[in-house]
Structure formats: C-alpha cells, structure tokens
Amino acid sequence: MRPAALFLLIVVLTAASTAPAHLPDHERQQIAELAQRYLQHRADKVTNSPQVAGFGVPTTDALAAGLRDDERKLRARNASYSSFPGGGYSRAAVSTTLRRLHVDPDGSVVAHVREVTELHFARTGSVTHSTFSITTVLVFDRTATGWVLAAAIRPPGTKCGLPAETQFCGHLTER
C-alpha cells in the first residue's frame, strides 16, 4: 500500500473511532422517561401528596446514598412548607425537555434536561401555584438490566443563587 493511502486510511479510522456515539431513538426515549420520572418524584417530595420512598428510577449505589440524604431534607422542607399560609404544596406538575445528549466513550450518557415545575398550593387564593425552571445534568450508566441514574449535577459554570424548592444549593449529587 502506498504511504499516502496508508496515512489516509489511518486518519479515517482514527476519526471514526473518536466520533461521538449515538443512541438509537428508543434509548433516547428511555433516557427522557427516566429523567422525567426522577424529576417528578423529586418534586413530589415537597408536596402533601402520599410519599413513596425513593426517586422512581434505578440508581447506582453511590447516588442512592446521596439521594437518601436528599429525601430526608426534602421531607423536612415539606414539613416546614405546611406551616406557611398556603398550607404547603398539594401537588407538583413537572415537564421536561432533553436539551442535549452526549454519549461518553465509556458508554454513559450525559443528558442536559430542562425542567419546568409547577408546585400547586394546598390552599388556593388568587395565586394557585409557584413555577420554576432549571437545567440539570443527569448522567446515566448502562447496566445489564438497563439504564441507571449515576449522577445529577448542575451544568458547569452555573451559579447557585436561590435554588428551586426541590434542589439544594451545595448539592445535586456529584459523580
């Protein structure tokens, strides 16, 4: 093989091996559904609705430990909201949009998710709910049983001013 052709073959093969991997549509949908479920369950933790342990999605052991602490803090936050004039929140309505997905070389998926959450007051007056919008980065790992949530973090460079009711300023579990 001629040196120029060999060089071109090496360049093409190298470029192909570093090209980002893509997820099939059905896996993108699975990631979107897991993100929605996680953020909905997280928002439900600050409402007066019946509480279910966990965050509704499979997680890594490392993340599960941090989420147990979050769950305790969210229950405490919910209890304090119940004493407010609005009586706390009766329900949460969460909508999510996948803004960007990236498949890392190790096979994990980094999902930038835009969340818009309405927290509806238990006692309504002229104002029926509070709304916030926040972007979260969720990292999913593929296992033999399917996708598991491995991390939930703030996008790099974000400032934490007044966090949404369902978040903590110093947190969102780092990977």
Q: How far is CA 124 from the centre of its chain?
A: 29
In this prediction the pTM is 0.80
pLDDT digits (tens, 9 = 90+) for 73-110: 888 888 887 777 667 889 999 999 999 999 999 999 99
Whether 58 contacts 148, CB under 8 Å: yes
Q: Is the pLDDT of residue 10 over 60?
A: no
Dist CA 88 CA 80 (whole Å): 8
